[in-house]
Structure formats: structure tokens, C-alpha cells
């Protein structure tokens, strides 16, 4: 129980620090987030592990093993199943839909979530970086309020972390505001990406 409390305190402190810094350090007039020129949805679907993300209220209780599982429904729609382990050790999740608006730009929606419950809508999921072998991706939105580092593996080596940080920063994000997402097999703590 003490370990969980310490983990919650660490998560809360990291979230507060990042949220406070975000108000003062968001990129000023960054260029529009550019999608990758081509996305093979058939290769993109499947299981992804979240390695880092911008803090958000909807995932504040996610402390480990955050995953996204994508299943192709038809040429324009992908089933989205997000799940994570919470501070109490339970798995929780939500199922939604991603509708392709244009190549690597999608509108992700979740039933019952305010402002995100319609299948059609503006792009809020832009694949802005994708490794040639589809081993990892960086996804964001036009405001850069959301950002996610996704990987096919829960474990990456130090060189890969440096590449991830470079891509995040080259995409106009502040790597010190993005927090790592612990995985059982990989990184065990939550910390700013710029310190990895």
C-alpha cells in the first residue's frame, strides 16, 4: 500500500509540475503539426504500448502498462481500445472509434465523452512520425495539447529514447512537459522525457 501511495504522490507531483510548466512553456507559434505522407492502416492496426504522453485529466490515474489496440473495421473506421493499470492495480479501459479524415489524420471519438462522442469531427489524432518498420510512432493534435509516443514493444534501449526525444522536440513539443509511461517490462518510473 505504501508503494501505491508513493507512486500516486510521484504521479501527482509530476502531473502538477508538467501542467504548471505547460502554461508558461507551450511552443509559441509552432508550425502546424505535419502528418506522415503515407500511412498503411493495415500495418498500423494492432497493439501499441504508450511509452510517454502529455499529461491529461483522462489518464491521471493510469500508472502503468497503458496500451492502445486498434482493429480495422472498414476502409474509414478503426476500433480503438485504450486500457491501463490504475493506482489501485486494476485494469480499466474505454472503447471508441477512429475515423480517417485524410491519410494519417483521424478523428477519434468515445461514446459519452463530452466533445468526443460524435463519429465525425475535426482531426484530433495526427500520426506525425512513424518508423519505417512501424515499430514506433509519435501522435499528436493540431494544438499540441495531446501527444503520445507509441511503441510495438514495452521496452526500448537508451539510443531509442534519444531518438524519441529528438522526434518529439522536432515536432514542436517540449520534451520536459511530456512524461514517461511506466511498463512492467520497461521503464519503471514517471519522469519528464527530457531527463531520459
pTM as predicted: 0.84
Per-10-residue mean pLDDT for the chain, 196 residues long?
Answer: 41 39 47 94 97 89 96 96 96 96 94 84 96 98 95 97 98 97 95 96
Helical ranges in 33-98 per DSSP H: 41-44
Distances from the Cα of 80 to the Cα of 27, 63, 132, 140, angstroms: 29, 20, 23, 16
CB atoms within 10 A of CB 173: 23
Q: Which residues contact 166 (CB under 8 A, 6 or more apart)?
A: none
CATH classification of 2-195 is 2.40.128.20, yes or no? Answer: yes
User: How is the chain split into domains, by residue range?
Assistant: 2-195
According to the model, what pLDDT value does residue 21 have? 40
According to the model, what pLDDT value does residue 29 have? 58
Torsion of CA 106, 114, 181, 60, to 10 degrees: 170
Amino acid at each position: 500500500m505504501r508503494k501505491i501511495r508513493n507512486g500516486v504522490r510521484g504521479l501527482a507531483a509530476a502531473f502538477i509540475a508538467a501542467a504548471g510548466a505547460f502554461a508558461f512553456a507551450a511552443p509559441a507559434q509552432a508550425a502546424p503539426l505535419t502528418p506522415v505522407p503515407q500511412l498503411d492502416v493495415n500495418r498500423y492496426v494492432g497493439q501499441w504500448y504508450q511509452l510517454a504522453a502529455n499529461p491529461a485529466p483522462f489518464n491521471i490515474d493510469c500508472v502503468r502498462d497503458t496500451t492502445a489496440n486498434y482493429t480495422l473495421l472498414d476502409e474509414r473506421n478503426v476500433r480503438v481500445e485504450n486500457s491501463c493499470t490504475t493506482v489501485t492495480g486494476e485494469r480499466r479501459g474505454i472503447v471508441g472509434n477512429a475515423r480517417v479524415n485524410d491519410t494519417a489524420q483521424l478523428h477519434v471519438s468515445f461514446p459519452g465523452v463530452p466533445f468526443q462522442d460524435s463519429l465525425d469531427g475535426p482531426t484530433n489524432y495526427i500520426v506525425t512520425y512513424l518508423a519505417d518498420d512501424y515499430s514506433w510512432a509519435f501522435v499528436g493534435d493540431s494544438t499540441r495539447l495531446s501527444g503520445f509516443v507509441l511503441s510495438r514493444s514495452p521496452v526500448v534501449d537508451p539510443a531509442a529514447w534519444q531518438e524519441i526525444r529528438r522526434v518529439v522536440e522536432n515536432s514542436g513539443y517540449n520534451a520536459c512537459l511530456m512524461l514517461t509511461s511506466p511498463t512492467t517490462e520497461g521503464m519503471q518510473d514517471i519522469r519528464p522525457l527530457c531527463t531520459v
